[in-house]
Amino acid sequence: MTAIPISDPSPKRTVFFQDLGFRPYAPVWDLQKKLQQELIDRKISREMSVQRNDAALGGYLLFVEHPHVYTLGKSGSPHHLLASPDFLAQIQAEFVPIDRGGDITYHGPGQLVGYPILDLDLFFTDIGRYLRTLEEAVIRLLAGFGIEAGREAGYTGVWVNGAKICAMGLKCSRWVTMHGFALNVNTDLSYFSHIVPCGIADKPVTSMQNLLGHVVDPQQVKHQMRAQISQLFGIRLQDGLPVQV
């Protein structure tokens, strides 16, 4: 496996962190767009300045758990949603077409969703490396729980024995990211049967609970994920957002 380089930790970039708890999808999507635009505005201001600010804000990291929702990326097919509007209402799930790349995926209770909103100009301007670094953070986290995970050739995300345990998707504007990863911790996997997950018909999905045979402490998962992202991106996480949420 190709080694994933760790970003230069000197100087460490400050990234504001917020665990949003249990929130509907749309307001968090709006918050992502607000934070992304703020970083873009900062970047434009910095580019116009004669003297570069080496203490520039690296970005934001949001953790959240969503109610049942299916999101469809710009390159996805609406035919990959296999449920009717009436059935979605029965299972209390939303369907939301969104602005990230990729196809359809599911978010719901028992899943750790992470949204890194980072100015990659302050880290590395390489989308492939960015995704591989996020994957590496998840792979290392899972190893700490005794789960041997890895990558599947030709696919994004993190896999265990051919089953996807973590999906990823992003939107990048002026090298500022939004959207991110969805790690199945204690997720009800039956909700994936109502879609073609990520547009891949022949690959199953799994979860940490499914693999370990017991409910996993979500706070422990969040703590370890914070640590892995902080190390791999060479960032200093500061609790709380400097904006109202």
Judged against a pLDDT cut of 50, whether residue 134 lies above it is answered with: yes
**How many Cα atoms within 13 Å fall on the side-chain side of residue 225?**
28
pTM: 0.92
Q: Would residue 172 show up in a list of annotated catalytic residues for this protein?
A: no
Q: Does 180 count as an annotated binding residue?
A: yes
Mean pLDDT of 65-77: 94
What digits encode the pLDDT tens for the residues 206-230? 999 999 999 999 999 999 999 999 9
- Choosing from 112, 141, 185, 198, the catalytic residue is 198
Q: Does 168 count as an annotated binding residue?
A: yes
Is residue 9 very low, low, confident or very high in pLDDT (cuts 50, 70, 90)? very low
User: Which amino acid is present at 236?
Assistant: R
Q: What is the pLDDT of residue 27?
A: 97
| Residue scoring higher pLDDT (76 or 149) | 149
**How large a percentage of the chain has pLDDT more than 90?**
81
CATH superfamily of the domain spanning 13-239: Bira Bifunctional Protein; Domain 2 (3.30.930.10)
Q: What is the pLDDT of residue 150?
A: 97
Cβ burial 6-29 (10 Å sphere, 16+ → b, else e): ebeeeeebebbbbebeebebeebb
So where are the chain's domains? 13-239
**3-state secondary structure (DSSP) of residue 93:** coil
- Whole-angstrom Cα distance, residue 119 to residue 175? 6
**DSSP character for 182?**
E
Q: What radius of gyration do the chain's Cα atoms show?
A: 18
